[in-house]
Amino acid sequence: MRIVVAYSAGGAADSQARLAAQHLSEMWAIPTVVENKPGGNTLIATQAVQRSAPDGHTMLSVSLPFALNPMMFEKLPYDPFHDFVPVGLISSIPNILVVHPSFPARSVGEFVAYARANPGKVTVAHTGIGSITHLSGELLYDKTGIEVTTIAYPGSTPAHADILSGRVSAMFDSSMLQHIEAGRVRALGVTSSKRLDLLPDLPTIAEQGFPDYSAAAFYGLVAPRETPPAVIEKIAADLRSVLQLPEVRSRMRDMTFLAGDTTPASFGVFMQDEAARWGDLVKRREIRPG
């Protein structure tokens, strides 16, 4: 069994896939491996799974770009809601706006004020056009009218290297908790509507004068369209069981993930809703792959 991830190893997408794979492997008593295929705005990984045999042995780890790509590309070599079937939601997770310690802002308001006074000079890393690390920023820029320079990376790990070194100013990301705690980056605000349990003193962006701001990533699994329904239901049921394990839920809390609990049908509806919600921003901001 393999789970194909559209991002490089080490980031949030990779981490949650590996956590699920580890416990599914133990449950099934067969190797379940994670295969990283970054690049192409997730198209490389998606097409690899599309071409795979629909036998339940290959799944794709998906996030927001999977649902949004039809709105950003004039033509796609696949239809995400026709050529794939949903399996289930693994997790959802808010991002945190972080900056290099040398950046002159200690709140989201100060970040916005600095960017407004220095249009285009603030550099913000993200993991691809249409990713939640990208759209979390676009939502803030849309609400405030600020102009920044965004830089796309093939995954969180190379982006982290550049923000830790100070090559870029900021990033909206979910997997820098250890760097926040060590003081290697400064956290300014949480993108979700509620504060994080692990960072209770860090206010949300909405709390800091930007009402109605809310953004969170999601990660789940889909399979090629012709995968037998009975196989999909079996994998989905086993995934739900894994996500209820105390050790899995504890590990997810440590990574600020919220464990999923969906059926294939409800995960499909969820992705359609996310596409509609973020699609409005994509159209308004005229966001297209670079």
Instruction: Give me the tens of pLDDT residue by residue for the chain, a chain 290 residues long.
Output: 999 999 888 888 899 999 999 999 999 999 999 999 998 889 999 999 999 999 999 999 999 989 999 988 888 999 999 999 999 999 998 999 999 999 999 999 999 999 999 999 999 999 888 889 999 999 999 999 999 999 999 888 899 999 999 999 999 998 899 999 999 999 999 999 899 988 999 999 999 999 989 999 899 999 999 999 999 999 999 999 999 999 999 999 888 888 999 999 999 999 999 999 899 999 999 988 76
> Which amino acid, 95?
N
Mind listing the domains of the chain with CATH numbers?
2-92+218-285 (3.40.190.150), 96-208 (3.40.190.10)
Using CA atoms, how far apart are residues 80 and 84, in angstroms rounded to an integer? 6
Using CA atoms, how far apart are residues 126 and 136, in angstroms rounded to an integer? 9
Integer CA distances (angstroms), 41 to 174, 176, 236, in order: 19, 22, 26
pLDDT given at position 245: 96
Integer CA distances (angstroms), 42 to 14, 129, 147, 221, 265, in order: 13, 10, 26, 14, 23
pLDDT given at position 43: 93
Q: What is the DSSP letter of 217?
A: E
Cβ contacts of residue 51 below 8 Å, gap of 6+? none
Phi, psi dihedrals of residue 252, rounded to the nearest 5°:
-65, -40
Q: How many residues does the chain have?
A: 290
Using CA atoms, how far apart are residues 244 and 240, in angstroms rounded to an integer? 6
How buried is 218 (Cβ within 10 angstroms: 0-12 exposed, 13-18 middle, 19+ buried)?
buried
Angle at 70 between CA 5 and CA 232, to 5 degrees: 50
pLDDT given at position 288: 85
Q: At what angle do helices 12-28 and 229-243 cross, to 10 degrees?
A: 110
**Four-residue CA torsion sign, 150, 271, 190, 155:** negative
Cβ contacts of residue 62 below 8 Å, gap of 6+? 6, 42, 80, 219, 220, 221, 222, 271
Phi, psi dihedrals of residue 115, rounded to the nearest 5°:
-65, -35
- Taking phi over 0 as left and psi of -120 to 50 as alpha, with beta for the rest, 212 belongs to left
Query: What are residue 190's DSSP bridge partners?
Result: 96, 204
Q: For the sheet with 186-190, list strands across it.
A: 149-152, 123-126, 170-173, 96-99, 186-190
Q: For the beta carbon of residue 36, count every other beta carbon within 10 angstroms.
A: 21
* Token pair in block for residue 249: 């839920």
pLDDT given at position 290: 63
